[in-house]
Amino acid sequence: MSAVGDVVKTGTSTVGITFDGGVVVGADHRATMGHFIANKSVQKLFRISNNVALTTAGLVGHAQSLSRTLAAELRLYELKRNQSMTVRGAATLTANILVGRPHYVQLLIVGVDEDGPSVYSIDSAGGAIPDSYCATGSGSPFMYGVLEDQFKHGMNEKEALKVAAKALLASAQRDAASGNGMDLAVITQEKGFQLLSEEEVDKLLSNI
């Protein structure tokens, strides 16, 4: 992900994976400015509501602004209607924002609602595409090698976490603009958004 200024571009790996009962979402920590590693602890995974998360690849300023806007809009929706926005609704809202005011970002909107788990890939022009799993950023070609090989429908949470971690590790090893650790979170209908602690991520990686 880009770190400073308008000319700083992203080098990023983010992933969303559906499993039986929820979604796993993850992102690396590295921000680059050309070939320079500008920051090693950038947040690219955002909790937007208790049932929806956002991952960002692109200019840091655009990503942070968009995450704040979406969190506020989903909270207002909950207050007005006394219910959570669906994942599809959040993806449509995000796409509409990008159509009206383009951002230099590539996004994932992931979450769980009454219709089950969902992953939406959203491009900078506002195109929204649902899928069972998706990867974004410069590390995505390496991540898709893992995802195509190891994703299967009906996985449980533990299996999905392992696949997501493997995909992020693959991008960190082969994409110079990705790495410096990862954030991982799980979203389920019962427990909502749960970000893994650093210790939980380390334990997961030690078993891969």
Contact between residue 108 and residue 55 where contact means Cβ atoms under 8 Å apart:
yes
**182 pLDDT higher than 50:** yes
**124 pLDDT higher than 80:** no
pLDDT the model gives residue 5: 43
Q: Give 47-87 as a DSSP string.
A: E-SSSEEEEEEE-HHHHHHHHHHHHHHHHHHHHHHSSPPPH
Contact between residue 26 and residue 172 where contact means Cβ atoms under 8 Å apart:
no
Structure tokens at 30: 């590295």
Could you report the per-residue pLDDT of 132-149, keeping only the tens digit for each?
999 998 889 999 999 999
- Can you give the pTM of this predicted structure? 0.89
**3 pLDDT higher than 80:** no
Mean pLDDT of 173-197: 89
**40 pLDDT higher than 80:** no
Residues 6+ apart with CB under 8 A from 130: 88, 91, 118, 119, 120
User: In 3D, which of 176, 174, 180, 169 has the Cα closest to residue 206?
Assistant: 169
Residues 6+ apart with CB under 8 A from 34: 8, 9
In whole angstroms, what is the distance from residue 170 CA to residue 15 CA? 12
Q: Which fold has domain 14-201?
A: Glutamine Phosphoribosylpyrophosphate, subunit 1, domain 1 (3.60.20)
Mean pLDDT of 199-206: 94
Where are the chain's structural domains?
14-201
The catalytic position among 10, 12, 55, 56 is 12
Could you report the per-residue pLDDT of 71-122, keeping only the tens digit for each?
999 999 999 999 999 999 999 999 988 886 666 778 999 999 999 999 999 9
Per-residue confidence band for 183, with pLDDT thresholds at 50, 70 and 90? very high
pLDDT the model gives residue 2: 42
Q: Is 55 a catalytic residue?
A: no
